[in-house]
């Protein structure tokens, strides 16, 4: 996705008696202002920290929790600098307010964009508590230390719990940022440890903490039926018959907004046309859909056929049709003409759906001008402005509550289901709980775009990879601009590493909406690139690991200090660690193969090795090793969980997930036709985390891209068949 | 009217469609929300509950057919303390998004009630009906093994074999 800036306009400055410390940190997005009275009453030291009378410490996580663990890891950062006793910390979702800055979950950005802010919030609160103690005890500040939610004075042996200091601390002037010392990593007591998810008990005991669990007095239930061919418009329907059904309150047409439905998560409040069915419970609205008959106007509907898109794309690549240049370095033509060896292979991937377990749904109360939303959106920060436009209400009258999301993966970046619910609520004059069926979720996704790459490589006489060509065919609604996720972003490797590089593209028409899917572009491009590197190594008669290391080289940091940039030392370290752990080069049982891949995305340098065995067309993935460098570890358990899960999710997706489109409509409808990996197919996963000491970066996405090429490279080494299309079921393979 | 014992208490469903899946009856009419909607077609297991001690997909059972039956949901699994499977889920930090986990826990707990020391293959077979898009299978398996150890050291919390056989 486009990475939203973490700078937002300051909230208006109001003339309160006391401005809490957050204001000093406004450049990092956190601003808190409150009256002296309210600070004293609540024990609030800033917008993120509240020290409660019972000694517990409430820490607010600003960003949405969709399974990436930020409602644990962000409070951990605050707690570390605050020296709060973790067992006494209560992690709460922050309200959606401008003072919390960019409240969204995407791009694996929550940790890196909040790192400085969270540390300063904790450290400043700690400093205020220390100053309060220094004043009370009449001792020098420098003689005070903190541990376990207490301020300690070594010389006198005095100590006090934070709860007994917070009232005085909240009266202290907010310290200058320069006077607040952050800990050195060597002094961390909490960061880097394995900490269970703050919601683990709530999840294990079935607490109603998810978006789907939201309830409010007087709410009614709704289902929204859209045209299977995307963009079709409801002309008429047997609404009278539907309204007469038991449990049904109302049924009506929502006109919708003309397509195409671009993935514009900041500005768009478009919805597709459809029929709203409102009832007294979810089931009544689902059942009424069986009676509903709609006459759709298909004149503006998509006519996509995924087989046609694929055929046109592959034809464009075979013909070498170039319509735009993305990247060029060196003299590609000369180096290919003079190469000792060249190779030329075409890779492709299908449309895929997000298929997160919690289908889209939301509770919206928009009956009056005071609008309230309970949602597990990944972009709560963009809800208010768009709802204000859609409903013609002032943003200040809109309240958005963050609830836990049953999986995100990019699906909850777009908020169209919220806009649907808001319009339905406004029409019926009651709070509306809208629930998409699984079939709706699969039919009306912003899919991962299909991709098509023709890769060519040139290897010099000394065995070094010296030339790289990538011609891609990008799905495009207008024939001139690639749809979201269908193109390529210039990566440091190969662009800044291999001396002669050309990346070019052509376009194929597609109206099917596409959007961000876990590690956008990287998750498909890595498959092509890292499989092709293995092809080149094999053709050159070199060990894949050695060839890859030589290709990456030792330039060091491509862009000094930029965590998103390739650092060849970090890359080499992960490759060396993972191949060592997996026993690269060891003698394998008959029919087994090891496969390696490395990829840098979302600032994470990740290398993976898979061990597979192949029996006919049945592939067993026995083990996967992951070596990850995402900088300073925040929550080791959360990080390891993301790495393990990315492997399983990557395998799940490459196995047999494919969305096909006919007449502009999605063919698959549920998990029976769109399978997720099940436990018996799941490999053992061994994870290793490299402690590089760099700033922490996100872990939700970067471990997924290397998985597919690692497995496909292993399959080649096991049986000699090179897989160049995902899912692998297209070539008849099954993960067993 | 249909009366079902839910987590040990009788609950009467009045005036609702008897064809309503147990899943939606629990969620919308009994205030039981640990049970989750994922697919509605018995493919994902997020709605797994126990019916007379057996793990079933609540989206595939109609409420009208369950007169007098006993349903246990994740909310009813703990007694004075958490069920060993719940405790293991917390200790092993299994969940990512957590949406499927109530269903996973109900399947795992049902497995251990009948087979306190399952092999890897038996765990795979018992858990194959529960999907997790976050990919937490690695930890689910570890947690089941840990719970197995805890449970074999104490009496089963629910003696499923004394409950009526069901075909669901």
Q: CB–CB of B99 and A358 under 8 A?
A: yes
What number is the average pLDDT over the span B43-52? 98
Q: pTM score, two decimals?
A: 0.94
Specify whether the CB–CB gap between A505 and A322 falls below 8 A: yes
CA distance B18 to chain A (A): 11
Shared domain check, B55 and B94 = no
Strand partners, A453: A347, A472
Q: CB–CB of B41 and A637 under 8 A?
A: no
* Residues 64-93 in B contacting A (C-alpha not used; CB under 8 Å): 73-75, 77-78, 82, 86-87, 89-91, 93
Average pLDDT score over chain A: 93
CA distance B163 to chain A (A): 23
Share of chain A above pLDDT 90, in %: 91
Render A20-37 in DSSP notation, one character per residue: -GGGGGGGGT------HH
Specify whether the CB–CB gap between A701 and A105 falls below 8 A: no
DSSP secondary-structure letter at A210? B
B168 pLDDT tier (thresholds 50, 70, 90): very low
Q: CB–CB of B43 and A684 under 8 A?
A: no
Q: CB–CB of A208 and B35 under 8 A?
A: no
Shared domain check, B32 and B62 = yes
| Strand (E) or helix (H) holding A385 | helix A383-391
Shared domain check, B94 and B36 = no
Q: CB–CB of B73 and A206 under 8 A?
A: yes
Shared domain check, B52 and B16 = yes
Q: Which residue of A has its CA nearest to B137?
A: A679
Nearest to A120 by CA among A169, A179, A57, A78: A78
* Residues of chain A found within 8 Å of residue B25, distances taken between Cβ atoms: 283
Which residue bears the tokens 């795992």?
Answer: B108
Q: Is the pLDDT of residue A542 over 80?
A: yes
Give dist(CA A294, CA A697) in Å, integer.
49
Nearest to B47 by CA among B17, B69, B27: B27
Q: What pLDDT sits at residue A17?
A: 21
* Residues of chain B found within 8 Å of residue A207, distances taken between Cβ atoms: 34
- Residue-number span of the structural domain to which B39 is assigned: 2-76
Shared domain check, B53 and B10 = yes
Shared domain check, B120 and B60 = no
Structure tokens at A141: 């500040």
Determine phi and psi for A28, rounding to 5 degrees. -100, 10
Q: CB–CB of B95 and A647 under 8 A?
A: no
Structure tokens at A336: 């290919």
Beta strands, E only, A216-352 = 220-226, 233-237, 248-254, 274-279, 294-297, 324-329, 341-349
Asked whether residue B163 is assigned to any structural domain, the reply reads no
Per-residue pLDDT reduced to its tens digit, A142-174: 999 999 999 999 999 999 999 999 999 988 888
Total domains present in chain B: 2
Give dist(CA B2, CA B61) in Å, integer.
13
* Residues of chain B found within 8 Å of residue A652, distances taken between Cβ atoms: 133, 135
ipTM of the complex: 0.94
DSSP secondary-structure letter at A256? -
Determine phi and psi for A328, rounding to 5 degrees. -150, 135
Give dist(CA A28, CA A409) in Å, integer.
26
* Residues of chain A found within 8 Å of residue B131, distances taken between Cβ atoms: 357, 671, 676, 678
Give dist(CA B139, CA A612) in Å, integer.
21
B127 touches chain A (CB under 8 A): yes
Asked whether residue B98 is assigned to any structural domain, the reply reads yes
Residue A645 has its nearest CB partner, among B24, B34, B136, at B136
Termini Cα distance of chain A: 34
CB-defined contacts A:B, below 8 A: 200
Asked whether residue B159 is assigned to any structural domain, the reply reads no
When scoring B134, B136, B147 by the number of chain A Cβ atoms within 10 A, the one with the most, hence best to mutate, is B134
CA distance B96 to chain A (A): 4
B154 pLDDT tier (thresholds 50, 70, 90): low
Q: CB–CB of A206 and B102 under 8 A?
A: yes
DSSP secondary-structure letter at A351? B
Specify whether the CB–CB gap between B100 and A199 falls below 8 A: no
Shared domain check, B88 and B70 = no
A243-263 core/surface letters (b: 16 or more CB in 10 A; e: else): eebebbbbbbbbebbebbbbb
* Residues of chain B found within 8 Å of residue A670, distances taken between Cβ atoms: 39-41, 43
Asked whether residue B157 is assigned to any structural domain, the reply reads no
Going from the N-terminus, what domains does chain A have, and what CATH number goes with each? 21-203 (3.30.365.10), 211-300+360-435 (3.30.365.10), 320-352+448-735 (3.30.365.10)
Which residue bears the tokens 């059942």?
Answer: A287
* Residues of chain B found within 8 Å of residue A438, distances taken between Cβ atoms: 38-41
Shared domain check, B7 and B69 = yes
B20 touches chain A (CB under 8 A): yes
CB atoms within 10 A of CB B19: 11
Give dist(CA A80, CA A259) in Å, integer.
48
Specify whether the CB–CB gap between A628 and A574 falls below 8 A: yes
Distance of CA A416 to the CA centre of its chain: 18
Structure tokens at B85: 């499977």
Sheet containing strand A398-402, edge to edge, reads: A248-254, A274-279, A220-226, A432-435, A361-365, A371-375, A398-402
When scoring A206, A672, A682 by the number of chain B Cβ atoms within 10 A, the one with the most, hence best to mutate, is A206
Give dist(CA A519, CA A496) in Å, integer.
21
Asked whether residue B24 is assigned to any structural domain, the reply reads yes
CA distance A273 to chain B (A): 24
B160 pLDDT tier (thresholds 50, 70, 90): very low
Shared domain check, B116 and B92 = yes
Shared domain check, B94 and B68 = no
DSSP secondary-structure letter at A499? S
Q: Which of B28, B46, B76 is the last residue of a domain?
A: B76
Residue A644 has its nearest CB partner, among B28, B39, B135, at B135
Burial of A54 (0-12, 13-18, 19+ CB in 10 A): exposed
Shared domain check, B71 and B6 = yes
Distance of CA A605 to the CA centre of its chain: 17
Shared domain check, B72 and B7 = yes
DSSP secondary-structure letter at A447? B
Q: Which of B29, B51, B76 is the last residue of a domain?
A: B76
DSSP secondary-structure letter at A662? E
Per-residue pLDDT reduced to its tens digit, A199-241: 999 999 999 999 999 999 999 999 999 999 999 999 999 999 9
Q: Is the pLDDT of residue A7 over 90?
A: no
Give dist(CA B43, CA A113) in Å, integer.
38
**Angle CA(B135)–CA(B138)–CA(B140) in degrees, nearest 5?**
90
Per-residue pLDDT reduced to its tens digit, A339-381: 999 999 999 999 999 999 999 999 999 999 999 999 999 999 9
Structure tokens at A621: 């993935």
Residue A644 has its nearest CB partner, among B123, B125, B139, at B139
Q: Which residue of A has its CA nearest to B100?
A: A357
User: Which CATH number is B124's domain given?
Assistant: 1.10.150.120
A98 pLDDT tier (thresholds 50, 70, 90): confident
Nearest to A454 by CA among A470, A442, A466: A470
Q: Is the pLDDT of residue B114 over 50?
A: yes
* Residues of chain B found within 8 Å of residue A210, distances taken between Cβ atoms: 36, 98-99
Specify whether the CB–CB gap between A274 and A425 falls below 8 A: no
Asked whether residue B162 is assigned to any structural domain, the reply reads no
Which residue bears the tokens 């959606």?
Answer: A96
Q: CB–CB of B98 and A197 under 8 A?
A: yes
User: Which CATH number is B10's domain given?
Assistant: 3.10.20.30
Q: What pLDDT sits at residue A646?
A: 98
* Residues of chain A found within 8 Å of residue B44, distances taken between Cβ atoms: 357, 671, 676
Which residue bears the tokens 């450049």?
Answer: A27
Give dist(CA A559, CA A572) in Å, integer.
17
Q: Which residue of A has its CA nearest to B78?
A: A205
B135 touches chain A (CB under 8 A): yes
| Strand (E) or helix (H) holding A573 | helix A568-582
Asked whether residue B15 is assigned to any structural domain, the reply reads yes
What number is the average pLDDT over the span A378-398? 96
Give dist(CA B43, CA B111) in Å, integer.
18
Q: CB–CB of B123 and A69 under 8 A?
A: no
Q: What is the three-state SS of chain B? A: CEEEEECCEEEEECCCCCCCEHHHHHHHHCCCCCCCCCCCCCCCCCCEEEECCEEEEHHHCEHHHCCCCEEECHHHCCCCCCCHHHHHHHHCCCCCCCCCHHHHHHHHHHHHHHCCCCCHHHHHHHHCCCCCCCCCHHHHHHHHHHHHHHHHCCCCCCCHHHCCCCCC
Q: Residues, chain B, total?
A: 168
Q: Is the pLDDT of residue B38 over 70?
A: yes
Per-residue pLDDT reduced to its tens digit, A693-722: 999 999 999 999 999 999 999 999 999 999
A380's CB contacts (< 8 A; 6+ apart) are: A64, A96, A103, A104, A400, A402
Asked whether residue B166 is assigned to any structural domain, the reply reads no
* Residues of chain B found within 8 Å of residue A287, distances taken between Cβ atoms: 17, 19
């Amino acid at each position: 996705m486009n990475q939203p800036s973490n700078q937002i306009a300051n909230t208006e400055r109001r003339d309160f008696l006391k401005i809490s410390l957050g204001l000093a940190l406004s450049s990092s997005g956190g601003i808190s202002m409150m009256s002296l009275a309210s600070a004293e009453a609540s024990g609030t030291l800033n917008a993120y920290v509240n020290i409660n009378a019972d000694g517990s410490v409430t820490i607010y996580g600003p960003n949405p929790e969709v399974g990436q663990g930020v409602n644990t890891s962000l409070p951990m950062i605050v707690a570390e600098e605050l020296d709060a006793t973790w067992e006494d910390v209560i992690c709460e979702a922050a309200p959606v307010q401008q003072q919390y800055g960019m409240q969204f979950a995407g791009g694996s950005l929550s940790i890196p964009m909040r790192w400085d802010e969270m540390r300063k919030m904790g450290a400043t609160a700690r400093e205020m508590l220390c100053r309060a103690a220094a004043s009370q005890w009449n001792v020098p500040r420098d003689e005070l230390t903190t541990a376990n939610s207490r301020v300690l004075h070594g010389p006198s042996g005095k100590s006090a719990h934070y709860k007994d200091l917070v009232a005085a601390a909240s009266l202290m002037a907010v310290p200058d940022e320069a006077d607040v010392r952050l800990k050195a990593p060597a002094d961390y007591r909490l960061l880097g440890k394995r900490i269970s998810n703050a919601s683990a008990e709530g999840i294990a005991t079935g607490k109603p903490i998810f978006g789907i669990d939201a309830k409010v007095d007087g709410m009614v239930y709704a289902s929204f039926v859209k045209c299977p061919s995307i963009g079709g418009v409801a002309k008429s329907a047997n609404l009278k018959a539907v309204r007469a059904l038991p449990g049904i309150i109302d049924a009506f047409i929502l006109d919708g907004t003309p397509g195409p439905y671009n993935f514009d998560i900041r500005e768009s409040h478009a919805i597709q046309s459809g029929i709203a069915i409102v009832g007294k419970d979810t089931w009544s609205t689902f059942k009424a859909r069986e009676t509903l008959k709609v006459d759709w106007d298909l004149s503006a509907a998509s006519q996509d056929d995924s087989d046609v898109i694929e055929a046109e794309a592959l034809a464009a690549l075979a013909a070498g049709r170039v319509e735009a240049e993305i990247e060029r370095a060196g003299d590609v033509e000369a180096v290919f003409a003079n190469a000792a060896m060249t190779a030329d292979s075409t890779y492709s991937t299908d449309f895929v759906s997000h298929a997160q377990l919690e289908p889209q749904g939301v509770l919206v109360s928009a009956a009056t001008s005071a609008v309230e939303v309970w949602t597990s959106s990944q972009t709560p920060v963009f809800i208010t402005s768009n709802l204000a436009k859609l409903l013609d209400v002032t943003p200040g009258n809109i309240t958005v509550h963050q609830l836990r999301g049953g999986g995100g993966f990019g699906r909850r970046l777009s908020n169209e289901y919220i806009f649907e619910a808001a319009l339905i609520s406004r029409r019926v004059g009651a709070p509306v709980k809208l629930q998409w069926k699984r079939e709706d979720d699969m039919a009306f996704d912003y899919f991962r775009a299909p991709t098509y790459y023709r890769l060519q490589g040139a290897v010099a006489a000394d065995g070094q990879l010296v030339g790289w060509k990538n011609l891609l065919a990008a799905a495009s609604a207008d024939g001139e601009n690639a749809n979201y996720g269908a193109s390529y972003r210039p990566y440091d490797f190969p662009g800044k590493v291999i001396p002669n590089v050309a990346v070019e593209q052509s376009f194929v028409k597609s109206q099917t909406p596409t959007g961000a899917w876990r590690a956008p572009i990287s998750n498909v491009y890595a498959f092509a690139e890292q499989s092709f590197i293995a092809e080149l190594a094999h053709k050159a008669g070199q060990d894949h690991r050695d060839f890859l290391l030589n290709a990456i080289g030792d330039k060091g940091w491509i862009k000094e200090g930029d965590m998103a940039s390739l650092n060849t030392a970090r890359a080499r370290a992960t490759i060396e660690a993972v191949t060592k752990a997996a026993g690269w080069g060891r003698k394998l049982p008959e029919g087994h193969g090891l496969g390696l891949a490395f990829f840098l995305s979302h600032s994470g340098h990740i290398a993976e090795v898979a061990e597979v065995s192949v029996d006919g067309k049945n592939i067993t993935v026995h083990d996967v090793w992951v070596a990850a460098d995402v900088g300073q570890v925040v929550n080791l358990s959360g990080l390891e969980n993301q790495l393990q899960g990315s492997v399983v999710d990557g395998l799940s997706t490459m196995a047999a997930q494919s969305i096909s489109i006919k007449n502009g409509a999605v063919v698959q409808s549920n998990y029976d036709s769109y399978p997720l990996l099940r436990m018996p197919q799941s490999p053992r996963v061994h994870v290793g985390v490299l402690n590089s000491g760099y700033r922490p970066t996100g872990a939700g996405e970067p471990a997924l891209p290397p998985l597919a090429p690692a497995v496909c490279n292993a399959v080649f080494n096991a049986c000699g068949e090179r897989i160049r299309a995902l899912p692998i079921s297209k070539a008849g393979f099954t993960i067993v | 009217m249909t009366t079902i014992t839910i987590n040990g208490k009788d609950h009467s469903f009045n005036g609702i469609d008897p064809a309503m899946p147990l899943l939606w009856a629990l969620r919308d009419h009994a205030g039981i929300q640990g049970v989750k909607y994922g697919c509605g077609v018995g493919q994902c297991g997020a709605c797994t509950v126990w019916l007379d001690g057996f793990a079933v997909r609540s989206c595939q059972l109609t409420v009208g057919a369950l007169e007098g039956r006993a349903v246990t949901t994740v909310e009813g699994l703990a007694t004075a303390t958490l069920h060993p499977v719940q405790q293991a889920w917390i200790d092993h930090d299994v969940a990512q998004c957590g949406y499927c986990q109530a269903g996973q826990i109900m399947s795992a707990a049902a497995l251990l009630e009948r087979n306190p020391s399952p092999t890897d293959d038996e765990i795979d077979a018992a858990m194959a009906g529960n999907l997790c898009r976050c990919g937490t299978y690695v930890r689910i398996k570890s947690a089941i093994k840990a719970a197995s150890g805890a449970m074999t050291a104490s009496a089963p919390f629910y003696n499923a074999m004394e409950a009526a056989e069901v075909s669901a």
